[in-house]
Structure 1
Amino acid sequence: MCLVTTIGIIGCGWLGLPLAKALIKEEFTVYGSTTSDSTYTTLTESNIHPCKLLIDDKHRITCSDPDIFSSDIIIITLPFKRSFSEPQDYVLQLKALLSTIEERNRCHSVLFTSSTSIYPLNNGIVTEDTPIEPKNPRQQALLDVEQYLLSLSSIDTCILRCGGMYGNDRHIGNFLSGKKVKGNGQEPVNLIHLYDLIGIITLIVKRPIKNSIYNLVSTDHPSKSDLYHFHCIKNGISPPTFTDTSCASFKIVSNHKILQSYSYSLKYPTPLAVYS
């Protein structure tokens, strides 16, 4: 087991950048990748070792500072872009990235931010042990990436299935304000605040990483109707209109495993509250 002193974050976007800043405060040496000139400058100003990392349409990688791949732990926060013409493009990009990590990484530890959208709408509770039977190409792509990561004998992987993310400049009231939404609004939500995402990941990197999967969501799951009405009224904007009388299919994602494993206390256990 390596002593963890360096962390590489592939994708310093909405989650990756504040995570990198938080890890700097924990006295880790942090490398961060971006495709943006402005973010590159921000990384430099934040004492994060910056690199430009590009993956072209043939899944070839160009990186201005390959030392990022030699970090003790690598955190992959690359989002599943809706602009992908084929969802499998995401799988091929991640496989190319992981091949490079395998070649250079010394301690072979990876955190990957997946999504709770991988779970079926079973109208009940889902846990990390719930069988995944993909119903659409996006679910299939996420499952393919997760299974590929867990199959790599040279890499210990922690997969984080994150709920819908809010906080910072993502205001819940703005998500659906004034829109017409299918369903009667009684289906529960599965969200997680940025503060708790960063808090949990910071705990994880301080312990040895073994192949594992965790759900990252709030403990409470208010209905869409209650949630958006609360935040829209607080922000003085129009709540959404729910168009049907019947409840849409749903799932309730359990966070019991992560809270128990790391003795973590959520700052925002419910999204039905005022937050910063």
Structure 2
Amino acid sequence: MKINTVSIVGCGWFGLPLAKQLVKLGYQVSGSKRERGAANKLQRDGIQGFSLDLDNHEFNGQGLETDNFPHHGVALTSELQSQLQASLHADALVINIPPSIRKLPYAYLNRLEFLKSLMAKHAYQRVIFISTTGVYPATGKPMTEGDAAPHSPSSKILLQAESLFLPDYPTCVLRFSGLIGPARHPGRFLAGKKDLPGMDAPVNLVHLDDCIGAVSCLLSSETISPIYNLCAPGHPSRLDFYAQAAEHLSLELPTFGKEIQVAKIIDGSKITKELGFNYRHNSPLDMLDKC
């Protein structure tokens, strides 16, 4: 297997630095932004940008009603569809679409179904689907890749999203824990909040650097499993971590009440054991200086 071209759907907080790193590694990279102007700017970083808005009726700024969802009954023009497929039909595809399930629960699945229609039957060497450890219930036990369960309405949708791609493409689902890094400092998450639950509950976080490193590892590895978790090995308590994170920014410390939360502990070791991947940031406390 030799992957030379990579297309990234969603060049945002994670996708853009990923694309930049893959360019440095010698891949030919294309990447999507919702707005055409933003997509054109990706060229400055050596990324072939293309506009892809999966729920805008005026698709790609063409003034066309082209959602292409089955229930709308409107199809893309053949020319525009060919243009999009040319951008998406690379050796490898990274699907990085934020779920936003709380606001519009089923819009996420609609977007992914539309994307899948554009992927068509292209012979990808690898599809990497970015998912989340929200698929795991809180049981007090370490959660490995086989422990996902539809324990809530949102987790049910997340599992449905993963299942859209796993059977039909050579797909690897990469489940991220809580994301932190530049412009996403955890000190702001709970600063100043009062009487929070779960002071002793462990945190499950991963740094942007390791997210980028893991995708790079998946692209360069010959044989991989269908699913991997990504979570730093260290799991300090919510009390210790968020107090230090707020103090790191000189913000008001959060306070915790006596309400107990059942722990959720994400085991992110499978990717290290199988592929030799090494976390650059093993402890969330050590990540604070890199946010």
TM beyond 0.5: yes
Q: Does 1:191 align with 2:205?
A: yes
Between the aligned partners of 1:95 and 1:221, the Cα distance in structure 2 is 36
| Structure 1 residues 211 and 88: CA distance shift in structure 2, 3 A | farther
Cα pair 2:173 2:228 within 8 Å, conserved = yes
Between the aligned partners of 1:92 and 1:65, the Cα distance in structure 2 is 17
Cα pair 2:3 2:125 within 8 Å, conserved = no
Q: Tell me the equivalent position of 1:76.
A: 95
| Structure 1 residues 44 and 209: CA distance shift in structure 2, 3 A | farther
Alignment of 1:128-147 (within 5 A): 128-130=145-147, 132-147=148-163
Uncovered stretches (5+) of structure 1, i.e. residues with no partner: none
Q: Tell me the equivalent position of 1:149.
A: 165
Task: Give the partner amino acid of 1:169.
Answer: A
Q: Tell me the equivalent position of 2:72.
A: none
CA offsets, 1:182-232, max 9 Å, x none? Answer: 314111111000001101111110123655100000001111110011121
The DSSP-based 3-state class of the residue aligned with 1:151 is coil
Q: CA deviation at 1:265?
A: 1.8
Q: Percent identity?
A: 32
The DSSP-based 3-state class of the residue aligned with 2:235 is coil
Q: Tell me the equivalent position of 2:38.
A: 39
Q: Tell me the equivalent position of 1:30.
A: 29
Between the aligned partners of 2:90 and 2:260, the Cα distance in structure 1 is 47
Q: CA deviation at 1:167?
A: 0.6
Between the aligned partners of 2:202 and 2:68, the Cα distance in structure 1 is 38
Task: Give the partner amino acid of 2:190.
Answer: L
Q: Which moved more, 1:166-175 or 1:232-241?
A: 232-241
Q: CA deviation at 1:233?
A: 1.4
Between the aligned partners of 1:110 and 1:229, the Cα distance in structure 2 is 39
Question: What is the TM-score normalised by the length of structure 2?
Answer: 0.86
| Structure 1 residues 181 and 9: CA distance shift in structure 2, 3 A | farther
Q: Tell me the equivalent position of 2:282.
A: 269
Q: Does 1:223 align with 2:237?
A: yes
Task: Give the partner amino acid of 2:30.
Answer: Y
Alignment of 1:103-252 (within 5 A): 103=121, 105-130=122-147, 132-152=148-168, 155-180=169-194, 182-208=196-222, 212-242=226-256, 244-252=257-265
Q: 2:273 aligns with which of 240, 260, 268?
A: 260
Uncovered stretches (5+) of structure 2, i.e. residues with no partner: 57-66, 70-75
Between the aligned partners of 2:140 and 2:195, the Cα distance in structure 1 is 18
The DSSP-based 3-state class of the residue aligned with 1:129 is helix
| Structure 1 residues 83 and 187: CA distance shift in structure 2, 3 A | closer
Equivalent residue pairs, number:
269
| Structure 1 residues 181 and 213: CA distance shift in structure 2, 3 A | farther
The DSSP-based 3-state class of the residue aligned with 2:285 is coil
Between the aligned partners of 1:14 and 1:74, the Cα distance in structure 2 is 17
CA offsets, 1:221-271, max 9 Å, x none? Answer: 1111100111211221112122x3132122100011011112122111010
CA offsets, 1:40-86, max 9 Å, x none? Answer: 2431111100000011275547776432221100000100014643x
Q: Which moved more, 1:50-59 or 1:158-167?
A: 50-59
| Structure 1 residues 209 and 48: CA distance shift in structure 2, 3 A | farther
| Structure 1 residues 264 and 275: CA distance shift in structure 2, 3 A | farther
Q: 2:85 aligns with which of 38, 51, 66?
A: 66
Between the aligned partners of 2:109 and 2:255, the Cα distance in structure 1 is 36
| Structure 1 residues 59 and 135: CA distance shift in structure 2, 3 A | farther
| Structure 1 residues 125 and 96: CA distance shift in structure 2, 3 A | same
The structure whose residues are more often strand, as a share, is 1
Between the aligned partners of 2:30 and 2:250, the Cα distance in structure 1 is 40
Cα pair 1:191 1:271 within 8 Å, conserved = yes
Q: Which moved more, 1:206-215 or 1:231-240?
A: 206-215
